[in-house]
Structure 1
Amino acid sequence: MFFTSFYNSGSIYVKGSAAVQPAVTFEGLEVFINDGTIDAGSRDEGPAHSAIAFGDAFDPKKTPFINHGKVVVSGTEKFIEGNVVYLLAGNAVSFYAPVEGTGSVEVTNSYIGLNAETNAGGPEIQLKDSALYLPANFSTSISVRGLKGSIVAFSLTPTSLLPDMKTTLQDGKLSIGFPDAVATIADIDGTIVPCGIKQDLFTLRATESIYITNPGISFTDSFPSIPDPVTTTTVVGEGHTVTQTTSYYTEAAGGTCEMKTTVYPTASTLSTRYSAAPSAN
């Protein structure tokens, strides 16, 4: 839907279909405003797929999408299994235009992609079991509810950049850094802790043969991998052995999670040998 001026104050519903269809695209070349509701999928019954997009990916002007209303995208099936995002199991919304306004974007069992610069003044994003994909080639600042149970990944970002990704959490704000940009996400719920953030690779799968893998983060209740305690025994002298156990724990410091150790002795043994010479009478 391409208009010189786009203004919605009512309700627009996009119905899904079993067959994959191109995204329904909304664009206003000069005025691009939503004061009402734009809904994809919440009225679908049973498996169906729909996709909507705001703005034109190839439009250099990038007229901002001003959302003072509500954008709802809702899938009916489980969308995330471990580190795999099944794109066709849910619905999708993509923002190619910058997003502004005081409205909300509510995403359930679906994909949301931000592909243009979005500032902190933009709408609140509400996730439920969904995947938020951000660009890694410029800075993004957003406010999000429902990070727990959802993932944040970075589109068009090679897997080789995972070691370069640095995530910190301070004052309720996630900062996810790459060499070229930083994404800042305000955790409105306040449920994320530094030692509950897992950096990993996530696969966005359309079909068995069509998929892409990108770096990202998910959120757990505790650090995802803490080694088991290790017990060692050392001979420190003739007949003297010391057994000690090293345990591992995590501690938040400077907005990140650090792995620390505690070493404590568990046993110490000393063997003494006696020898006797025959006595002479």
Structure 2
Amino acid sequence: MRTFLRLFLRDLFLLFLLVLFASIWPAHLRYEGELSRLSEKTVSSPEFRRQSLSPEAAETIAALKNPGEYLAVYWLESDFNMETSPVSFDDASSLRGRWDKLPEWSSYLNACRAVWDDLAYFPVARDSTGVLSVSFEDSWMFERTYQGERGHEGTDIMPSVNKNGVFPVVSMTDGVVEEKGWLELGGYRIGIRAPKGAYFYYAHLDSYAQIEVGDEVKAGDLLGFMGDTGYGTEEGTRGKFPVHLHLGIYICPDEEEFSVNPYPALCYLKEKTVSFR
């Protein structure tokens, strides 16, 4: 009888361990799988570079001055917005703790802050008369064929009037002018390095403001006027496409520069405008 009881208790204990293991192991695997979203390759991945935002997240960050940290957690928790259930702001704040212990967290967070935390103004000033307006769509990595097939590394902002020198282009951020002058693809362009490290690229300008390489600019400062320059080896080439502003955002987390999708940032800034006239 005692032998039977011992065997019964042993089997019962083994069954308990089996049930416990079966309940814990899938959760552990799921947890480990979620943490694997953050690695050395995360920042250069297509998922991160696309900067996807759900309508819920876009509405939340509209009220935030420095949304980089919120988005850093939001993207990891939502599998870069691939999951159907949105992550609330409170969730993102409380869940940072399971990510910030990972060695890749610091560089990943810095990349998110570089793209988002210096943003202040939409890059085209608002016409206070209400006559002029602009539009834009998510065209990042759309196919382009000039100089061979390539991906479109930015967002094109299109004016309601196809005319050079009408729409003022302003700096989205504080920063320092790193580049100014002619590029075959970008025409008359200007590049601003923002304080947290992102490079903001404004291309196809008609003309420049009184600004030079090395100058410090403030968010909202005039950089020049929207035009149609570019797609030519000869400086001053015009008329190859309609007047517009090509806006690019580039980051360089590990000495390798690559573009991120500016469209979500432009949506975030569309009501944050500098007025003119």
- TM-score band w.r.t. shorter chain: under 0.3
TM-score, structure 2 normalization: 0.27
TM-score by length of 1: 0.26
Which structure carries more strand by proportion?
Answer: 1
Bigger Cα Rg = 1
Indicate the structure with greater helix content: 2
